Amino acid sequence: MKRIRVALIDDYEVVVQGLASMLRSYQDQVEVVELDANRNVGHRVDIALFDTFAGTQGDRDEVALLARNPLVGKVVVYSWNVDEGLVSAALANGAAGYVSKGLPAAGLVAALRAVHHGTQEIHHAARGPRVVGGDWPGREEGLTPREAEVLALITQGLSNLEIAQRAHLSINSVKTYIRSGYRRIGVTSRTQAILWGVEHGFRPDRTRIQPAADDAR
């Protein structure tokens, strides 16, 4: 079976490293060629897996630019948000698939294989307890993925309204995540939260990582 060459895309190194770790058990099917945090894909790949953590949800220019990269065969968006409007926008921007982060690693690999073989894949998470895979800033401190995403956007300097628009959340949901996130990290103000975020890796990275030879086999 020929392996699928994949690039992992997100603004945060810890996120793409977590994705790479998820896929490590499937090295017979997926070859992670590079991990890109705020860098253009630099090697020819079959699929660029675009993680939306603290970024756009596939409905803006980033996915379109990625889809136009001659080194990228196809783009798959990987997100918690799977509403029809976002999915349609991502597909219109050139994505070949849209996959829920609620899927286990095996489901993600199956979706990547289906896209590689020419199927337009839209995968929602199965009903039942939500699967939380991968990694994100603040996980060790007890932050949930959504709390971490909102805190990352606060650290980037976004207002509550801008966070709601970026993450496609209601203002009330944003405020709820802010309150619960603040409690977890022990801060009481936005200034304190930004300082905490800067000190704990919540600013976007800018790096490209090529997996070690052992990981690529």
The residue ranges of every structural domain in the chain are: 4-129+205-216, 145-199
CB 159 within 8 A of CB 131: no
**pTM for the full model?**
0.81
- Indicate the fold that domain 4-129+205-216 takes in CATH: Rossmann fold (3.40.50)
Half-sphere exposure of 41 (CA within 13 A, CB side): 29
The pLDDT assigned to 190 comes to 96
Q: Is the dihedral of CA 60, 61, 66, 70 positive or negative?
A: positive
Q: What distances in angstroms separate CA 128 from CA 80, 103, 125, 169, 194, one per listed residue?
A: 15, 11, 9, 22, 34
One of 3.40.50.300, 3.40.50.720, 1.10.10.60, 1.10.10.10 is the CATH number of 145-199, namely 1.10.10.10
Query: Which pLDDT value is given to residue 29?
Result: 96
Task: Please give the pLDDT value at position 131.
Answer: 47
At residue 28, the pLDDT reads 95
Look at residue 8 and give its three-state secondary structure: strand
What's residue 161's pLDDT? Answer: 97
The separation between the first and the last C-alpha atoms of the chain, rounded to the nearest angstrom, is 13
Is 60 within 8 Å of 82 (Cβ atoms)? no
Per-residue pLDDT 10s for the chain (217 aa) are: 789 999 999 888 888 888 999 999 999 999 999 888 777 888 999 999 999 887 777 777 889 999 999 999 999 999 988 888 889 999 999 999 999 988 889 999 999 999 999 988 787 655 444 445 567 889 889 999 999 999 999 999 999 999 999 888 999 999 999 999 999 999 999 999 999 999 998 887 766 676 755 454 4
The answer to whether the beta carbons of residues 32 and 4 sit under 8 Å apart is no
